[in-house]
Amino acid sequence: MNPVHQTFGELLWLNFRAAYARMWVRLKGSNREITWIMAEILLPVLTIGAYVILYRTLSLPAYLGAAVIIGGTMISFWSNVLWNMSAQWFWEKETGNLEMYLVAPVSRMAILLGMALGGVVNTSLRAAGVLVLGIFVFQVPFQLRDIFAASLVFLLTVAALYALGMVFASLFMLYGREAWHTNMLLQEPVYFLSGSYFPTIYTSVIPVWVQVTATLIPMTVGLDAIRIVTIGGGSVSSVWLHIIALVVFSLVLLPLAHKALSFMETLAKREGRLTLRWQ
């Protein structure tokens, strides 16, 4: 006896609705507290300001100030990926929501997709605020000639980052608070290696092997591409290699996330840790 018959189309629609609903929760929840929004815009501007002032004091080229503003803006996405995407499973587990997701007939990827889309929209709005405020306050030079190229590299960077977030989310399926350390380990090194606040590639100060390692991080590649297009006035032809790299990142990371989630879920079910709290 099989009491459940669902076509592929019905399942796709079900997962689409679930992803939309999870996105809606993120948008609604995160924008209900105005203090959160203000903090998320103003605090990055303070960090950016510190670097811009430092570079001006040292009489370094003005484009470095613009690079910092782009870096500080994009770093919001990395923080969002780490803490509101990967670590979100931890919070969902603690509140009992994860259990409800896993008992429901929806794909875990649909839930993560909803979180990612909500995170992208939320963080984009905040990042826009940081960008505008940064440009307005610090009066740094930008040369944006190809909006299409800028939009393309931005979207591809964000896609690659959130795909990476989905891979990390699988860790929280099995582990609880222990996986926080993974996030901590990933946060600062990526801030440093991706060159968010100072150049880490195309510079003689940092060893070549460190620079090559840094390019394995989607953030480094995306950030460099966005800077080339928005500060250097580049076009698609200037960043074609970056575009290919970012597409490859997404194509590899998304299926990897799916596999990792399934593997970790099975392991957690076997070890009885799927809904175990206070770990």
The residues that touch other proteins, with contacts defined as CB under 8 A, are 1-4, 6, 10, 13-14, 17-18, 20-22, 24-25, 28-29, 32-33, 95-97, 99-106, 266, 269-270, 272, 274-275
Closest approach, Cβ 49 to other proteins, in A, equals 31
* Cα 160 to Cα 155: distance, rounded to the nearest angstrom: 9
Both tokens of 228, joined, read 């080339």
Token pair in block for residue 43:
């605090």
d(C-alpha 86, C-alpha 186), whole Å: 11
The residue among 2 and 204 lying less far from other proteins, judged by its C-beta, is 2
- Residues in Cβ contact with 51 at an 8 Å cutoff, skipping those fewer than 6 apart: 65, 68, 72, 197, 198
Name the residue nearer to other proteins (CB basis): 114 or 129. 114
Q: How far is the CB of 269 from other proteins (least distance, A)?
A: 5
Residue whose token pair is 């620079």: 211
- What's the token pair of residue 67? 């690079």
Give me the least distance between CB of 272 and other proteins, in Å please.
Answer: 6
Residue nearer to other proteins on the CB measure, 16 or 192: 16
Q: Minimum distance between the CB of residue 128 and other proteins, rounded to whole angstroms?
A: 23
- The CA–CA distances, whole Å, from 202 to 49, 69, 77, 211, 239 equal 24, 19, 23, 8, 15
**CB closer to other proteins, 101 vs 197:** 101
Q: Which is nearer to other proteins, 100 or 247 (CB)?
A: 100
The least distance separating other proteins from the CB of residue 266, rounded to whole angstroms, comes to 7
Instruction: Classify the C-alpha dihedral 174-176-178-181 as positive or negative.
Output: positive
Cβ 178 to other proteins shortest distance, Å: 20
Q: Report the residue number, 33 or 143, with the smaller CB distance to other proteins.
A: 33
Nearer to other proteins, 181 or 259 (CB): 259
Both tokens of residue 103? 């008992």
Residue type, 169: A
Cα–Cα dist 17/36, whole Å? 27
Query: What's the min distance (Å) between Cβ of 2 and other proteins?
Result: 7
Phi and psi torsions of 5, nearest 5°: -125, 120
CB 152 within 8 A of CB 234: no
For 78, residues 6+ apart whose C-beta sits below 8 A from its C-beta are 161, 187, 190, 191, 194, 219
**Which amino acid, one-letter code, is at 260?**
A
